[in-house]
């Protein structure tokens, strides 16, 4: 590097420090004086996972601001309830059943939205799942399902709606990430990894849109802290800072969209606090995380007692050729008696010992025989009804 290049670099660094100082002062100013907020009246806002929890509340908030809300959820009943609530409050909404992990379903449903409603101008990728367990307890199938929902679904909705935004040169992409993306905790390893992927996706998308000179396509990535939006999850929390109200989180998400902020955290100070901690030495960072502790672990699953089962003789005849090649002295086990093929010749078999199938502990034992009597268990409640 020659003298001119070095001087040029120093000047750029000085300019960068000056600009950074201005942005920091601007952020402090806007804590007191809110930013100017855009109107979403008449905008078509699509919210995934709108059937319950945070997505439902975000959809309701947009409906109150006179946006036309398109609700997506794989649970049609919950989704329709959200639509009805928006309409009862005087808003406009329509619902579509869609599994965002299914790329073909996303593309087909997006086409229906365009035909029935119009071009989506604000896309809120909210749908996600939040399982909690130790990292070694995860199965490959569970990890794949988590990333299908929390990560890949974002790509499918982008493929469905971003091209029209680029063509029209306006739009807004919103992704609900998590504070766990920037400050992971134990028992959330795959979840934190999936949300980190979402944050990386949105950061990269922002840079790509800038490179393509698309200033009117906005990007907002949200990092909310734990919200008490779901009470049915088998998760225990021990937090220095208590869980947030889901209504508060939803309002802050909508506020971030109205202010066209590129990255927000809920509460607002958390993002800056976590970034500050990352600049500290490892020992200091560890101490501060112990002070502001965040502990999450799976709730033990209670096993309900099994109903008592009594074995009473019941007459039954099952016709099947499934075991025509098995000697009469041998026995076979099958998982489910419903899997027995339909009869094709009169070869009777019997269930020699049927154990309670609802418990899932045993399989029936089948064998070829000539008589048609067997022991079939029946629940006592069923016997009393008979």
β-bridge pairing 294-298 and 235-239: antiparallel
My answer on whether omega of the bond before 9 falls inside 30° of 0, hence cis, is no
How are strands ordered across the β-sheet holding 318-319? 318-319, 348-353, 365-368, 332-333
Q: How far apart are CA 196 and CA 178, in angstroms?
A: 8
User: 314 to each of 21, 334, 375, how far by Cα in Å?
Assistant: 84, 20, 6
Token readout for 94 is: 């329509």
Q: Considering the candidates 191, 225, 248, 271, report the single residue annotated as catalytic.
A: 191
Mention every residue, 6+ apart, whose C-beta is less than 8 A from residue 40: 62, 65, 66, 67, 122, 257, 258
Q: Strands 122-125 and 171-176: what pairing?
A: parallel
Give SS3 for 58.
helix
Cβ within 8 Å of residue 235, ≥6 positions away: 130, 132, 296, 297, 298, 299
Q: Is 191 a catalytic residue?
A: yes
Tell me the catalytic residues: 191
């Amino acid at each position: 590097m020659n003298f001119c290049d070095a001087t040029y670099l120093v000047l750029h660094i000085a300019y960068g420090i000056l600009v950074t100082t201005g942005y920091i002062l601007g952020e402090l100013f806007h804590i007191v004086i809110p930013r100017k907020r855009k109107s979403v009246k008449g905008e078509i806002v699509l919210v995934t996972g709108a059937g319950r929890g945070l997505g439902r509340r975000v959809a309701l908030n947009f409906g109150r601001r006179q946006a036309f809300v398109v609700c997506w959820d794989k649970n049609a009943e919950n989704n329709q309830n959200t639509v009805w609530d928006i309409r009862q409050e005087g808003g406009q909404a329509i619902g579509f059943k869609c599994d965002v992990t299914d790329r073909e379903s996303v593309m087909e449903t997006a086409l229906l939205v365009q035909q029935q409603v119009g071009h989506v101008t604000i896309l809120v990728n909210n749908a996600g799942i939040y399982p909690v367990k130790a990292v070694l307890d995860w199965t490959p199938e569970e990890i794949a399902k988590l990333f299908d929902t929390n990560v890949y679904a974002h790509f499918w909705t982008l493929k469905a709606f971003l091209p029209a935004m680029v063509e029209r040169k306006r739009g807004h992409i919103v992704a609900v990430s998590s504070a766990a993306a920037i400050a992971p905790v134990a028992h959330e390893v795959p979840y934190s990894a999936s949300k980190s992927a979402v944050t990386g996706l949105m950061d990269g998308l922002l840079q790509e849109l800038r490179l393509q000179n698309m200033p009117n396509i906005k990007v907002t990535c949200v990092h909310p802290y734990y919200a008490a939006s779901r009470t049915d999850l088998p998760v225990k929390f021990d937090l220095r800072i208590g869980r947030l109200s889901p209504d508060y989180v939803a309002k802050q998400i909508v506020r971030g969209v109205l202010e066209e902020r590129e990255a927000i955290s809920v509460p607002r100070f958390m993002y800056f606090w976590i970034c500050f901690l990352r600049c500290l030495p490892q020992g200091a960072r560890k101490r501060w995380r112990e002070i502001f502790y965040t502990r999450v672990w799976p709730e033990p699953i209670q096993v309900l007692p099994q109903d008592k089962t009594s074995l009473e003789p019941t007459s039954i005849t099952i016709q099947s050729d499934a075991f025509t090649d098995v000697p009469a002295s041998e026995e076979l086990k099958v998982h489910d008696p419903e899997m027995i093929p339909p009869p094709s010749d009169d070869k009777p078999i019997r269930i020699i010992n049927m154990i309670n199938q609802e418990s899932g502990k045993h399989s029936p034992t089948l064998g070829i025989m000539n008589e048609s009597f067997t022991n079939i268990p029946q629940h006592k409640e069923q016997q009393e009804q008979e």
